[in-house]
Structure 1
Amino acid sequence: MSFVRSAPRLICLMIIALGVALVHATSAFAQSDPLPSWNDTASKVAIVSFVEKVTGQGSPDFVPETERIAVFDNDGTLWVEHPMYVQLAFALDRVKTLAPQHPEWKETQPFKAVLDGDMKSLAASGEKGLVELIMTTHAGMTSSDFQKIVTDWLASARDPKFKRPYTELVYQPMVELLAYFRTNGFKTFIVSGGGIEFMRPWAEKVYGVPPEQVIGSSIKTEFRMQDDTPTLYRLPEVNFIDDKAGKPVGINQQIGRRPIAAFGNSDGDLEMLQWTTMAGAPARLGVLIHHTDAEREYAYDRDTEFGRLDKALDAAAITGWTVVDMKADWKQVFKD
């Protein structure tokens, strides 16, 4: 008799439990795609397949978490790099800000070209001219002062095309990818030709990558006591250029492990992808972001001053690297 009396209550509990299970199942299904801003194309399949292979227990390609290192270029791979590198835009603005203190710049290149808005003459100054700009505008201050200048500039500067802060012009599909890799036990690093102290103030907030996992170009610094306060003072001398062949060197110096996945978008990333993928087992992944979307962003590859993709694009066909077609593979470019 007690079971009969309890039956309706048991049935109700079973129905409630079933309903809760269905809700959880539906929610899990809705959230099952870790890369919702990616179209279901071969590029997405290749990336997901790689992650499943190296993280699956019992997989012949299984890689322990301690060895799951993924490296990402920044300019053109994680955020916009046209019409010029963001750090170059910062340097140009710094020249204009500092110009009243340097009247001689009105007649001295490459500063004259910047003040006159003469980008042709600036480009003609070549790497030497650009290095001089960087050294002049990024040095002569403490590291903490420079960090504040960068942070303040990024808060007010706007991209000329999209009229949005540069930190909003990060690629949503790549932000998802960073999170997806970390969820699967990867340690993610930024490896960029850009300045390490230019990226560190905001990389964690924007990408979820902490400062100690940012590798970049640097200028020399020295320890100084200023008003009884210990500081690091930035000198107008190049310390390390983290570009092209410098990227594998920087990875080795800072990480001490060879990555198993590398993401780039230009010839500046060629050696990083070679270093990552041309090393035999375990399974390795090389990915190039190909800018093909003139409507939502930009379309460029072999014929551009910023982010030229020429030799690396040819190498991809030989090495089997995944080439992400921005127009075809991404549902959206920036976060709405």
Structure 2
Amino acid sequence: MQFLKSVALTIIIGLSFFIFPEGRSATDNPLPSWQDGASRKAIIDFVAAVTREGSPDFVPAPERIAVFDNDGTLWAEQPMYFQALFAFDRVRTLAPQHPEWQTREPFASVLKGDFKKALAGGEKALLDLVMETHAGMTTDEFARLVEDWLATAKHPVTHKPYTGMVYQPMLEVLGYLRANGFKTFIVSGGGIEFMRPWAERVYGVPPEQVVGSSIKTRFEMQDDKPVLVRLPEVNFIDDKTGKPVGIHQHIGRRPIAAFGNSDGDLQMLQLATAGTGKRLGVIVHHTDAQREWAYDRESAVGRLADALDLAVKQGWTVIDMKREWKTIYPEP
């Protein structure tokens, strides 16, 4: 399940102009889609403290690293991770080439539309789906598949494009941090190559600042051209205890701010907030059943229990989406 935590989002050309109209900077009216409450204040106060020269909490710009989970933190993740829905669509597309899938699980259940049964096999079933639908092609071919899917696919509940289900308040946080000298990274359990094709366009996060789960790749020469071929083997799972490892391997600095929404982000929050100096840990708590979904401890997707229990002790900020966000998604 963790391997498929993933991603997808609203098409934004020039993210800073989308969040902050021409003539305004990110600091003129920081976080305009947030209510003037505790979470907004915690973020703004933290940024002021670490960026004000002469402050005892001042942090030099190269050390201003902020990490963000993707699914459930930057965009929605219900009723299941969007990369899983991408895999299901790939099964349907490839089915004519695989008649054996009609009787082989979890593919047979996907083809019948019984996603609950398809997921009953747990992580092994999901990995089978990923290996069969995400491998056996070059990295460029896979990137084009992801882009084409995001351009046409619609969410099964809201019927919005997946690119329309990013969180406007979190887009503002990304822009606000970057306007104050932060470098922002995505650190997700979703596939790194599923996120990289669109993360810069949607979040303003370039591909080299995306950390995620991966499958193995191999260099080949095809028609006298160098390519990377995706293999049906897991390389790295960037979830739970894997997230601090991924941060160490890809970033090389301990973050001073971390944003997550589930127990899969617990170790990342612990890593970021255990360092010296002023730190910020933030949990997006899904409490809005009308505008989004309300879930935490008992959810099969995005379970939030252990991290929520530790939040008070650790001094982490817990965002109440229902009370603290004026809007959820960007205007179409």
2:134 is matched with which residue? 138
- The match for 1:305 among 300, 308, 311 is 300
Unpaired stretches in structure 1, ≥5 consecutive residues: 1-26
Q: Percent identity?
A: 67
Secondary structure of the structure 1 residue equivalent to 2:231: strand
Q: Deviations over 1:249-288 (max 9, x none)?
A: 0000010000000000000000000010012x21000000
Q: State the match for 1:71 in structure 2.
A: 67
SS of match in other structure, 1:204: helix
Structure 1 counterpart of 2:326, which letter? K
Partner of 1:219: 215
Contact 2:26 2:176 in 1 (8 A): no
Q: Secondary structure at the match of 1:303?
A: coil
Which of these residues, 116, 123, 132, is aligned with residue 119 of structure 2? 123
Which of 83, 87, 97 aligns to 2:83? It is: 87
2:314 corresponds in structure 1 to: 319
Paired amino acid for 1:308: R
Aligned match of 1:185: 181
Offset of 1:30 from its aligned partner?
Answer: 11
Post-superposition Cα deviations, 1:91-117, rounded to whole Å, max 9, x if no partner, equal 000001001111111111111111112
RMSD: 1.3
Between the aligned partners of 2:109 and 2:26, the Cα distance in structure 1 is 53
Note the C-alpha offset of 1:31: 7.1
Q: Distance in 2 between matches of 1:195 and 1:29?
A: 33
Correspondence list, 1:154-303, <5 A: 154-279=150-275, 281-303=276-298
- Residue 119 of structure 1 and its aligned partner are, at CA, apart by 2.4
Paired residue secondary structure (2:286): strand
Q: Is 2:329 aligned against 1:334?
A: yes
* Paired AA for residue 323 in structure 2: A
Conservation of the 8 A alpha-carbon contact between 2:77 and 2:302: yes
Moved more, 77-86 or 110-119: 110-119
In 2, Cα distance between the equivalents of 1:55 and 1:162?
Answer: 40
Deviation at 1:324, TM superposition (A): 0.3
Letter of the 2:161 counterpart: P
Residue type of the alignment partner of 1:319 = Q
Matched residues in 2 for 1:162 and 1:304: separation? 19
- For residues 153 and 112 of structure 2, the distance between their equivalents in structure 1, rounded to whole angstroms, comes to 20
Higher relative contact order (CA 8 A, sep 6+): 2
The code of the aligned residue for 2:175 comes to A
Checking the alignment, whether the CA contact within 8 Å between 2:26 and 2:175 is kept in structure 1 is no
Query: SS at the partner of 2:127?
Result: helix
Aligned to 1:99: 95
Deviation at 1:241, TM superposition (A): 0.4
Q: 2:77 aligns to what SS in structure 1?
A: coil
- State the secondary structure of the residue aligned to 1:299: coil
Change (3 A) 1:59 1:196: same
1:120, distance to aligned residue in structure 2 (A)? 2.8
Distance 2:60 2:329 in 1: 33
Determine the C-alpha separation between the residues in 2 that align with 1:118 and 1:30.
Answer: 45
Q: What secondary structure, in the 3-state scheme, does the structure 2 residue paired with 1:300 have?
A: coil
- 1 or 2, which has the higher helix percentage? 1
Distance 1:236 1:99 in 2: 18
- The DSSP-based 3-state class of the residue aligned with 1:316 is helix
Render the CA deviation track for 1:136-195: whole Å, top value 9, x for unaligned. 100000000000000000000011222111111100000000000000000000000000
Classify the secondary structure of the residue corresponding to 1:298.
Answer: coil
Q: For residue 29 of structure 1, report the CA deviation from its aligned partner.
A: 11
Pick closer, same or farther for the CA change 1:267–1:58 going to 2, 3 Å. same
- The unaligned stretches of length 5 or more in structure 2 are 1-22
